[in-house]
């Protein structure tokens, strides 16, 4: 077999031989990063909602102590998973569970690790988002009788999430890149496939040049998509005025079933 002489010759050869493997690696990386970010986001939301439950004097001692304990647990979770590297968490969780007799499929383990790691960061990002929403929004919701859960889910969090979309995007991009550390538990993600491909001919530069390009395309595309999503969340800048502006008594047709919904 004739081995290539040039850099791009090697790149071509590696793509030809390992192209499908790289594609599969890309798929794994995307699945891990996407599910990790989504699950982590849900964890973050739950932590944020639980941590902001208000305590009022008429609550019983059980609820008060329960909330205190819950708060301590959630704080420990956030501190531990933000305070240790994900590569170390991978080893501890994967091999730890194995030593307890639980053999997780590696892809499951990978998603689990990225999710709880992301959840710890998301909890803090969402907390920041909640702080960014004017206190009056929650007060208004409370003042018409909505519960903590209702006012958070319907009023505060939608606004908080809009405000933190850039940080959520960051977290997604970080997850695409950082899922590479999962190669330590032999997940077939992108970095792992690069290492395998490089090893055959000892062409590390060329192999990882390809891998770098794929990572860049992934993160660039996703950043653009998230920007589009943000635009969509902001909604239209225009609105329809019904009837006549000078005559507020102008008739309005009530929405009926089968009509185009008002919102």
Partner 1 sequence: MTDNRFTGPILQVEHLKKSFGAHEVLKDISFSVEKGDVVSIIGSSGSGKSTLLRCINFLEQPTDGQIFFQGKNAEHDWPRGQYHANVGMVFQSFNLFNNMTVLQNCTEGQIRVLKRSKKEAEEKALMYLEKVGMTPYIKARPAQLSGGQKQRVAIARALAMDPEVLLFDEPTSALDPEMVGEVLGVMRDLADSGLTMLVVTHEMAFARDVSSRVIFMDAGVITEDAPPAEIFTNPKHPRTREFLSRVLEK
Q: Enumerate binding residues for partner 1 (CB under 8 A).
A: 56-58, 134, 136-137, 139-147, 150, 154-155, 158-159, 162, 235, 239-245, 248-250, 252, 254-255, 257, 262-263
CB of 155 to partner 1, least distance (A): 5
Least distance from partner 1 to the Cβ atom of residue 152, Å: 12
Residue 257 CB neighbours (<10 A): 4
For partner 1, give the closer residue by CB, 20 or 245: 245
Tell me the closest approach of the beta carbon of residue 16 to partner 1, in angstroms.
51
Q: Which is nearer to partner 1, 51 or 148 (CB)?
A: 148
Task: Compute the least distance from the CB of residue 151 to partner 1, in Å.
Answer: 9
Tell me the C-alpha to C-alpha distance, in Å, between residue 90 and each of 11, 24, 37, 80, 82.
Answer: 31, 21, 16, 13, 13
CA distance linking residue 235 with residue 71, whole number of Å = 36
Distances (CA, A) of 185 to 52, 181, 221: 36, 9, 28
- List own/partner pairs for 94-98 with CB under 8 A and 24 or more apart: 94/185, 95/185
Q: Which is nearer to partner 1, 150 or 186 (CB)?
A: 150
Q: Rounded to whole angstroms, how far apart are CA atoms 145 and 157?
A: 17
Q: How far is the CB of 230 from partner 1 (least distance, A)?
A: 14
DSSP 56-79: -TTS-HHHHHHHHHHHHHHHHHHH
Nearer to partner 1, 2 or 248 (CB): 248
| Distance between CA atoms of residues 158 and 141, nearest Å | 13
C-beta of 162 vs 177, nearer to partner 1: 162
**Nearest CB to partner 1, comparing residues 154 and 224:** 154
d(CA 167, CA 190): 24
Secondary structure of 100-112 in HEC code, one letter for each residue: CCCCCCHHHHHHH
Nearest to 123 by CA among 52, 53, 68, 180: 52
Q: Which is nearer to partner 1, 45 or 116 (CB)?
A: 45
Shortest spacing between CB 72 and partner 1, in angstroms: 24
Closest distance of CB 95 from partner 1, Å: 45
């Amino acid at each position: 077999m004739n081995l290539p002489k040039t850099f791009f010759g090697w790149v071509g050869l590696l793509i030809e031989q390992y192209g499908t493997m790289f594609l599969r690696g890309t798929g794994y990386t995307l699945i891990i990063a996407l599910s990790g970010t989504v699950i982590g986001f849900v964890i973050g939301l739950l932590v944020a909602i639980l941590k902001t439950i208000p305590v009022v004097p008429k609550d019983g001692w059980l609820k008060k102590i329960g909330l205190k304990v819950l708060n301590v647990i959630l704080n420990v979770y956030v501190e531990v998973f933000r305070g240790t590297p994900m590569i170390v968490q991978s080893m501890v969780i994967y091999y730890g569970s194995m030593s307890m007799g639980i053999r997780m499929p590696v892809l499951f383990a990978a998603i689990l690790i990225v999710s709880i790691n992301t959840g710890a960061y998301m909890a803090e990002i969402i907390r920041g988002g909640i702080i960014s929403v004017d206190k009056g929004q929650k007060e208004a919701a409370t003042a018409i009788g909505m519960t903590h859960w209702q006012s958070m889910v319907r009023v505060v969090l939608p606004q908080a999430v809009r405000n933190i979309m850039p940080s959520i995007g960051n977290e997604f991009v970080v997850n695409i890149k950082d899922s590479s550390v999962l190669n330590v538990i032999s997940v077939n993600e992108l970095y792992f496939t690069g290492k395998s491909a490089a090893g055959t001919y000892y062409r590390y530069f060329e192999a990882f040049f390809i891998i770098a390009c794929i990572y860049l395309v992934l993160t660039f595309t996703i950043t653009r998509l998230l920007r589009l999503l943000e635009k969509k969340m902001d909604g239209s800048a225009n609105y329809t005025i019904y009837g006549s502006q000078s005559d507020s008594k102008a008739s309005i047709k009530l929405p009926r079933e089968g009509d185009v919904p008002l919102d």
